[in-house]
């Protein structure tokens, strides 16, 4: 265990814990955007910046990725942190004024949009959560393409791709609602590609695309029911058989 | 030629060094500047003149041994003249350069017509005066050898030393010029730890710009527990106006690979990768040729020189992104992903390429290693200053008289480099600033000219060493416009991963474009300063962290220009369009009429007094009159104030 302080509160944490986790475990609030518990870390939004003092050096670090390996003291509300955080928020709100999460954070920290530097409103904050979610599923259908200001999320060549299975993981983790899809009974459209969505023969919900089941390796002759109903049917089968015995 | 044991190589070196009778050699500079000026055609003509058929560059080495009569002595004896193409010799401004060995004579601006004269002078054993390189008083030197040419005399060429006297293609040549002494010493008499210690003791610091002690880096990689370790060469030189690494990879690829081999042996690596930017095709070709020759000679591969040490080198071509010069982005790029940096709270020496401990050094850093191992750390420390030992190669460019490749001991002042070696500002215009460290570096004014060039002093002055670009600017350079130029470059090259760099630089660019378009607003300078500090505080990688330097350093030293752009919408340097007016000072005008002749808009007319005057309505403010006036009678004046 390593002894550290966050905002002068002494804490004991396990070696390798990130500052963000240590703070969250102790009820200290640090705002985040690109961070998602289920995904790999990336540290690109810089909103979680905190100031640390490490062997006499004071510096700003991204708390979501900084592993605690020795005694440091962390400050989450200094003037320097506030400036760093507000600059990041300001830059984001100039480009993403309509994203609800950005609006909430700006209201919380008192940041306004600058008319002079207002850019064409866009919902995407390029946090890459969608890309990391797609990668985590093993599909890797989308990637951050382009460089610098033009960076954006797209499937290869911005065309429909075989790699996409229509699982909607990307849309689920998107913090701003940029990633949208069309869903009509039995049909789904995302990333320029149309999918057939299978309907559960028992409960009637549209539960998965054919490609998702292919990816999961579910046999072709066993695709009639959604996960819940499948379990239900199996357990009923199990119970009747054991009663017979 | 194959060396299976250490003694094979040592015997071979002895044999070569005993060959006393060295024939005359004519070396034609194959650096990019000279090639652009037609040095390849000259080389071919030389070969023809010496009686051989010409051949294209890379197929055969341009080594031609032709018997020619030389008669310095009474008796006519036959001697060999050899000719070939080298890497960059340095004096790029005066190319094509031809160098004659063993007399060490340099000829400049050589044309095909001089070939006969040069060969004739070699036969006579006297210098060829017509194209002798400039000496002290700007006149052709009597004997154009390095010590009589200010551009060369004030340099200390260690890394570039071999480059003007050998073929970059020929391994034999490299060994003949002292190559592979370092590896012999390392493999024969030094344990890997000792090599790390020797490099640590030498005080060698990373030449890519960071200035991190190389030995410490090696040691920490050596000490990290892993079966696989990598050594990488960073040849992704992308700074505008910089060509040091390019020159080294093209001109002396063997020394880089020798350094890499020694490094691999020291840290216990068997795999090396040279990352070269795709825009350097010749460097890739030369390195590939070197690797092929070294593998054939048994100096790369398995069981090198019978010592049981295995080492393989591969070349990886970059994808054309500036940010790939950043260490983690470079590794990501090698891994086959988009070249985007990673958060670096865990050092690459612990977890780098493919999660294995990795040492990444700049081309020039690696090229230093064989010299340190051969001559010892004491020797290396004796060059340069206390905490900055050794030499540094600079690409001296911009508005300087002698542009070119320059190597000086650390601690040499900017003044010495720009004035003593560079010959001062071109066309004798006043000096305004020097930009060091590439786009993330800074601009230093005349008052800082006595700053010694080393890692610490330059950082303290608000600039940085960077990889060694040095751009000289005269009084016709607008510092706000320069900041705009570099921020434009960085906006283009930012990978866009983190918010401060992607969005912050864009905002900075908007302010700078307003300032240089006459739309500056009150408080813009302050806003730039604040934003610059926040971007360096919060950015993810070194590119973003240092991206604000061009803005911060120009504001620090040239604040008055920013204020003029902001408040008066006036550009005193006459660069930002629409923000100045050009006037002829009638008192200074000597009625020569040059301005009128050169005016593209035909708007300069002769007054009854014989003096000239610019009709403002037609003036397009191109500055042609300003450039040509021999009496400095053309002034740049503030449009707004004059109108009032």
pLDDT digits (tens, 9 = 90+) for B410-451: 999 999 999 999 988 988 888 999 999 888 888 999 999 999
Chain B residue at shortest CA distance from A33: B499
Does residue B395 belong to the interface with chain A, where contact is any CB pair within 8 Å?
Answer: no
Q: What is the mean pLDDT of residues B547-571?
A: 91
Q: Which has the higher per-residue pLDDT, B68 or B613? A: B613
Q: What angle do CA B130, B131, B137 make, to 5 degrees?
A: 95
Confidence of residue B644 (pLDDT cuts 50, 70, 90): very low
Confidence of residue B197 (pLDDT cuts 50, 70, 90): very high
For residues A46 and A35, is the Cβ–Cβ distance under 8 A? no
- List all residues 6 or more positions away from A72 whose beta carbon is below 8 Å from its beta carbon: A4, A52, A53, A54
Shortest alpha-carbon distance between residue A83 and chain B (Å): 7
Hey, how many other C-beta atoms are within 10 angstroms of the C-beta on B500? Answer: 28
d(CA A198, CA A185): 9
| Residue environment code for B97-133, b if the CB has 16+ CB neighbours within 10 A, otherwise e | bbbbbebbbbbbbbeeebbeebbebbbeeebbeebbb
Half-sphere exposure (Cβ direction) of B120: Cα atoms closer than 13 Å: 8
Q: Which residues of A touch B351 (CB under 8 A)?
A: none
Q: Cβ–Cβ of A61/B492 closer than 8 Å?
A: no
Q: Cβ–Cβ of B499/A91 closer than 8 Å?
A: yes
Spell out the domains of chain B, with CATH numbers in brackets. 22-148 (3.40.30.10), 171-381 (3.40.50.11540), 391-474 (3.10.20.600), 479-568 (1.20.1440.230), 581-637 (3.30.70.20)
The beta-carbon neighbor of B343 closest among A43, A116, A145 is A43
Q: What is the mean pLDDT of chain B?
A: 87
Does residue B220 belong to the interface with chain A, where contact is any CB pair within 8 Å?
Answer: no
Q: Number of residue pairs across A and B with CB atoms under 8 Å?
A: 99
Q: Which has the higher per-residue pLDDT, B388 or B76? A: B388
Instruction: Tell whether the torsion through CA atoms of A58, A63, A68 and A74 is positive or negative.
Output: positive
- List all residues 6 or more positions away from B644 whose beta carbon is below 8 Å from its beta carbon: none
CA distances from B458 to B79, B364, B443, B448, B450 (A): 51, 19, 10, 10, 11
DSSP-derived secondary structure for A155-207: SGGGS--TT-----HHHHH-SSS----EEETTEEEETTEEEEEEEPTTT--EE
Does residue B321 belong to the interface with chain A, where contact is any CB pair within 8 Å?
Answer: yes
pLDDT of the residue at B507: 93
For testing contact with chain A, the best of B318, B333, B490, B496 (most A CBs within 10 A): B496
For residues A22 and A9, is the Cβ–Cβ distance under 8 A? no
pTM above 0.90, yes or no: no
d(CA B332, CA B444): 34
The beta-carbon neighbor of B502 closest among A61, A65, A148 is A148
Confidence of residue B581 (pLDDT cuts 50, 70, 90): confident
| Tokens (6 digits) for B194 | 């000792």
Q: Peptide bond preceding B102: is omega within 30 degrees of 0, i.e. cis? A: yes
Mean pLDDT lowest among A31-45, B38-52, B287-301, B625-639 = B38-52
Q: What angle do CA A52, A55, A61 make, to 5 degrees?
A: 25
Shortest alpha-carbon distance between residue B533 and chain A (Å): 9
Q: Which residues of B touch A146 (CB under 8 A)?
A: 496
Terminal Cα distance for chain B, rounded: 81
For residues B472 and B398, is the Cβ–Cβ distance under 8 A? yes
- Which of left, alpha, beta for B569 (phi over 0: left; psi -120 to 50: alpha)? left
Query: Mind listing the pLDDT tens digit for each residue in A210-221?
Result: 999 999 999 988
Q: Is B125 helix (H, G, I), strand (E, B) or coil?
A: coil
The beta-carbon neighbor of B538 closest among A88, A119, A148 is A88
Q: Cβ–Cβ of B500/A88 closer than 8 Å?
A: yes
| CA proximity to B229, closest of B322, B351, B325, B56 | B351
Query: Mind listing the pLDDT tens digit for each residue in B97-109?
Result: 999 888 889 999 9
Does residue B346 belong to the interface with chain A, where contact is any CB pair within 8 Å?
Answer: yes
| Tokens (6 digits) for A67 | 């592993």
Shortest alpha-carbon distance between residue A43 and chain B (Å): 7
Q: What is the mean pLDDT of chain A?
A: 92
Q: Cβ–Cβ of A46/B540 closer than 8 Å?
A: yes
The beta-carbon neighbor of B499 closest among A88, A145, A150 is A88
Confidence of residue B2 (pLDDT cuts 50, 70, 90): confident
Chain B residue at shortest CA distance from A83: B534
Q: Is B72 helix (H, G, I), strand (E, B) or coil?
A: coil
The beta-carbon neighbor of A91 closest among B338, B497, B503 is B503
| Tokens (6 digits) for B113 | 């017509």
Q: Cβ–Cβ of B496/A148 closer than 8 Å?
A: yes
Query: Mind listing the pLDDT tens digit for each residue in B139-162?
Result: 888 888 888 888 888 899 999 988
Q: Which residues of A touch B492 (CB under 8 A)?
A: 147-148
DSSP-derived secondary structure for B407-465: EEETT-BHHIIIIIIT-SBGGGPPEEEEEESGGGSEEEEGGGTT-B-SHHHHHHTT---
Q: Which has the higher per-residue pLDDT, B218 or B25? A: B218
d(CA A143, CA A146): 10
| Tokens (6 digits) for B37 | 């000026």
Query: Mind listing the pLDDT tens digit for each residue in B481-506?
Result: 999 999 999 999 899 999 999 999 99
Question: Pairing relation of β-strands B271-276 and B309-317?
Answer: parallel
Q: What is the mean pLDDT of residues A85-110?
A: 93
| CA proximity to B485, closest of B443, B447, B457, B527 | B443
Q: Which residues of A touch B338 (CB under 8 A)?
A: 143-145
Give the residue carrying structure tokens 């086959």: B336
Is B69's pLDDT higher than 50? no
The beta-carbon neighbor of B503 closest among A61, A95, A143 is A95
- Whole-complex ipTM: 0.89
The beta-carbon neighbor of A148 closest among B494, B507, B534 is B494
Q: Which has the higher per-residue pLDDT, B78 or B541? A: B541
Q: What angle do CA B125, B126, B130 make, to 5 degrees?
A: 135
d(CA B400, CA B418): 7
- List all residues 6 or more positions away from B27 whose beta carbon is below 8 Å from its beta carbon: B83, B84, B85, B86, B89, B98, B99, B100, B101, B164, B165
| CA proximity to B362, closest of B272, B263, B454, B237 | B237
Shortest alpha-carbon distance between residue A125 and chain B (Å): 8
Shortest alpha-carbon distance between residue B470 and chain A (Å): 26
% residues pLDDT > 70 (chain B)? 94
Is B381's pLDDT higher than 50? yes
Confidence of residue B184 (pLDDT cuts 50, 70, 90): very high
Confidence of residue B13 (pLDDT cuts 50, 70, 90): confident
Q: Which residues of A touch B540 (CB under 8 A)?
A: 43-44, 46, 62
Terminal Cα distance for chain A, rounded: 55
Mean pLDDT lowest among A241-245, B259-263, B513-517, B596-600 = A241-245
Q: Cβ–Cβ of A151/B538 closer than 8 Å?
A: no
């Amino acid at each position: 265990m390593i002894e550290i302080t966050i905002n002068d509160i002494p804490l004991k944490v396990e070696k390798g814990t990130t500052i963000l986790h240590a703070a969250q475990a102790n009820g200290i609030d640090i705002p985040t955007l690109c961070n998602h518990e289920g995904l790999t870390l990336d540290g690109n939004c810089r909103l979680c910046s905190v100031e640390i003092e490490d062997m006499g050096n004071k510096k700003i670090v991204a708390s979501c990725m900084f592993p605690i390996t020795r005694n440091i003291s962390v400050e989450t509300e200094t003037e320097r942190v506030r400036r760093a955080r507000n600059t990041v928020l300001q830059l984001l709100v100039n480009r993403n004024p309509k994203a609800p999460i950005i609006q909430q954070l700006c209201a919380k920290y008192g940041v306004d949009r600058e008319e002079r530097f207002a850019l064409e409103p866009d919902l995407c904050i390029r946090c890459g959560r969608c890309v990391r979610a797609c990668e985590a599923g093993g599909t890797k259908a989308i990637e951050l393409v382009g460089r610098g200001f033009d960076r954006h999320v797209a499937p290869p060549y911005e065309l429909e791709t075989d790699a996409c299975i229509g699982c909607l993981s990307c849309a689920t983790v998107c913090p701003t609602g940029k990633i949208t899809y069309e869903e009509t009974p039995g049909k789904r459209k995302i990333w320029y590609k149309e999918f057939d969505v299978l309907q559960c023969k028992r409960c009637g919900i549209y539960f998965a695309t054919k490609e998702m089941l292919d990816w999961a390796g579910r046999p072709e002759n066993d695709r009639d029911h959604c996960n819940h109903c499948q379990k239900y049917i199996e357990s009923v089968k199990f119970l009747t058989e054991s009663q017979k015995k | 030629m194959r060396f299976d044991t250490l003694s094979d190589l040592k015997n071979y070196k002895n044999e070569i060094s005993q060959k006393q009778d060295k024939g005359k050699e004519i070396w034609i500079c194959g650096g990019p500047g000279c090639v652009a000026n037609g040095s390849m055609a000259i080389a071919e003509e030389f070969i023809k003149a010496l009686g051989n058929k010409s051949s294209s560059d890379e197929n055969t080495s341009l080594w031609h041994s032709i018997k020619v009569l030389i008669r310095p002595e009474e008796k006519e004896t036959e001697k060999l003249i050899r000719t070939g193409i080298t890497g960059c010799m340095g004096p790029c401004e005066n190319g094509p350069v031809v160098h004659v060995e063993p007399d060490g004579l340099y000829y400049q601006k050589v044309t095909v017509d001089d070939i006969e004269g040069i060969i004739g002078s070699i036969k006579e054993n006297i210098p060829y005066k017509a194209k002798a390189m400039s000496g002290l008083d700007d006149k052709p030197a009597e004997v154009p050898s390095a010590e009589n040419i200010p551009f060369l005399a004030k340099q200390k060429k260690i890394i570039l030393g071999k480059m003007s006297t050998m073929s970059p293609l020929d391994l034999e040549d490299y060994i003949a010029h002292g190559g592979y002494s370092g590896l012999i010493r390392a493999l024969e008499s030094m344990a890997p730890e000792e090599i790390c210690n020797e490099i640590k003791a030498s005080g060698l610091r990373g030449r890519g710009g960071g200035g991190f002690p190389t030995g410490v880096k090696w040691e920490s990689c050596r000490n990290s527990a892993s079966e696989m370790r990598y050594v990488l060469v960073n040849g992704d030189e992308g700074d505008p106006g910089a060509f040091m690494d390019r020159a080294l990879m093209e001109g002396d690829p063997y020394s880089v690979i020798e350094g890499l081999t020694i490094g691999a042996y020291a840290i216990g690596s068997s795999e090396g990768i040279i990352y070269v930017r795709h825009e350097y095709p010749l460097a890739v070709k030369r390195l590939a040729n070197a690797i092929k020759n070294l593998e054939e000679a048994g100096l790369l591969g398995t069981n090198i020189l019978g010592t049981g040490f295995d080492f393989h080198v591969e070349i990886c071509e970059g994808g054309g992104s500036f940010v790939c010069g950043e260490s983690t982005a470079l590794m990501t790029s090698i891994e086959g992903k988009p070249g985007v940096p990673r958060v670096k709270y865990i050092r690459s020496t612990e977890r780098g390429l493919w999660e294995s401990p990795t040492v990444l050094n700049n081309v020039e850093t690696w090229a230093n290693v064989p010299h340190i191992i051969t001559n010892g750390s004491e020797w290396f420390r004796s060059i340069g200053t206390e905490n900055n030992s050794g030499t540094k190669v600079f690409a001296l460019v911009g508005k300087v008289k002698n542009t070119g490749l320059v190597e000086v001991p650390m601690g040499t002042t900017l003044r010495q480099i720009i004035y003593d070696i560079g010959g001062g500002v071109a066309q004798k215009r006043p000096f305004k600033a020097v930009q060091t460290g590439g786009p993330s570096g800074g601009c230093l004014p005349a008052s800082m000219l006595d700053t010694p060039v080393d890692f610490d002093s330059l950082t303290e002055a608000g600039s940085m060493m960077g990889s060694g670009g040095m751009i000289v600017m005269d009084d016709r350079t607008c510092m706000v416009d320069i900041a705009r130029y570099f921020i434009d470059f960085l906006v283009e090259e930012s990978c866009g991963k983190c918010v401060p760099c992607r969005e912050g630089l864009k905002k900075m660019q908007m302010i700078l474009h307003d300032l240089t378009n006459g739309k500056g607003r009150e408080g813009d300078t302050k806003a730039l300063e604040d934003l610059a500090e926040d971007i360096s505080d919060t950015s993810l990688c070194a590119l973003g962290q240092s991206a604000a330097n061009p803005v911060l350093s120009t504001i620090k030293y040239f604040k008055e220009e920013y204020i003029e752009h902001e408040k008066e919408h006036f550009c005193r340097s006459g660069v930002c369009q629409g923000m100045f007016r050009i006037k002829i000072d009638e008192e200074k005008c000597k009625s020569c009429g040059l301005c009128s002749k050169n005016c593209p808009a035909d708007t300069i007319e002769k007054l009854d007094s014989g003096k000239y005057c610019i009709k403002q309505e037609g003036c397009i403010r191109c500055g042609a009159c300003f450039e040509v006036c021999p009496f400095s009678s053309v002034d740049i004046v503030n449009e707004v104030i004059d109108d009032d």
